[in-house]
Amino acid sequence: MIVSIIIILIVALIIIALWVGAMQQRKEKKEIERRKELTKLKAIIEESDDALMNSANIPLSEALIRTLQSRSYNALIEMSSLSPNSKALKTRLSQSKELLEKPVEGNNSDTMALPNNDKQLIGIIQSIKKIRSIIRSEHNKGRIESATYSMEDKRLEKLQVRINIDSQIKRGLSARSASMVGSARQYFEKAYATLSALTYSDDYITAKKNELEGYLNAITKELKSSNEKALKKKAEEEQDDLDVLFAPKKKW
């Protein structure tokens, strides 16, 4: 009888130990998933905040600013639900809500001044690509209307094209002034190919294509003139050699 009770107790202890172990593993797994989700949400907030900070360099409309602010706010709500006891998150959430309630002044321009520094230029292009990726994601989640998304994405695309084309032309003109005609032609041809590949057209595209055609035609004429001069000089040198070869020999 005692032996049976001991066996039952041992079995019960084993079952309890297994249950406790399973619960602990489940708790640890849940905590790992919670931390992963918090990391993901934190990255979303940082990404949105970085995009808003770049509004000093990139013209962002009111709709884009509100989209980025709302994205941060929604992420903070989810973080607060995962960490309900975090005072820092509650404060941040309150600040984000106040920011959404304040009026903002957007910039709907599709032009901007280009920085002279190539690193800064690359940073701006990357920021525009990131913002386009963000609003595409928000549109897929139903957080931005299709008409607004289409209009804003098209504006950012045109801004991206302008930066690309204007920087290529700038580099081409710089190479041309340094007598690097071959490099200049490559820059101009690349810009022209980019414009030609676009599926839409506007006054800017038409004007830039005409401008690039003018540069390319001028370079073609320069190269043709240069080749003609080189051929003429070579012919003159060959003629001089013949004159020396067939010149009457002097008698001593």
Tell me the pTM: 0.73
Pair (132, 220) in one structural domain: yes
Pair (127, 196) in one structural domain: yes
- Kindly state the average pLDDT of the residues 105-130: 82
Pair (198, 220) in one structural domain: yes
For residue 83 the two structure tokens come to 């960490």
Q: Which one-letter amino acid corresponds to residue 145?
A: E
Report the half-sphere exposure of 38 (CA within 13 A, side-chain side): 14
DSSP tag of 61: -
CA dist 71 and 133 (Å) reads 13
131: closest CA among 67, 36, 202?
Answer: 67
| Residue 10 pLDDT | 79
The answer to whether residue 15 sits within a structural domain is: no
219: closest CA among 249, 250, 192?
Answer: 192
Split at pLDDT 50, 70, 90, the class of 208 is very high
CA dist 136 and 142 (Å) reads 10
Last residue of one domain, picked from the residues 92, 108, 124: 108
- Please count the other Cβ atoms lying within 10 Å of the Cβ belonging to residue 228: 10
Give me the phi and psi of 113, to 5 degrees please.
-75, 135
| Residue 185, pLDDT above cutoff 50 | yes
Summarize pLDDT for 211-252 with one digit per residue, the tens. Answer: 999 999 988 888 776 655 555 565 555 555 545 444 455 554
Q: Which one-letter amino acid corresponds to residue 48?
A: S
- Kindly state the average pLDDT of the residues 161-182: 90
Q: Which residue is it, tokens 């032009």? A: 111
| Residue 12 pLDDT | 78
Distances in whole angstroms, Cα of residue 89 to Cα of each of 103, 139, 242: 23, 26, 91
CA dist 153 and 132 (Å) reads 6
Pair (34, 57) in one structural domain: yes
The answer to whether residue 115 sits within a structural domain is: yes
More confident position, 67 or 108:
67
Pair (64, 123) in one structural domain: no
Pair (66, 149) in one structural domain: no
| Residue 240 pLDDT | 55
Pair (205, 219) in one structural domain: yes
- Please count the other Cβ atoms lying within 10 Å of the Cβ belonging to residue 76: 22
The answer to whether residue 1 sits within a structural domain is: no
The answer to whether residue 248 sits within a structural domain is: no
For residue 63 the two structure tokens come to 């709709």
Contacts 24+ apart (CB under 8 A), 222-227: 222/181, 223/181
The answer to whether residue 131 sits within a structural domain is: yes
More confident position, 240 or 97:
97
Planar angle of CA 225, 206, 133, nearest 5 degrees: 120
CA dist 156 and 125 (Å) reads 10
Pair (71, 172) in one structural domain: no
Which residues constitute the domain of residue 65?
20-108
Structural domain count, the chain? 2
Q: Which residue is it, tokens 């001044």? A: 113
CA dist 123 and 167 (Å) reads 13
Report the half-sphere exposure of 40 (CA within 13 A, side-chain side): 9
Q: With the CA atoms of 55, 59, 62 and 65 taken in that order, what torsion angle do they form, in degrees rounded to the nearest 10? A: -30
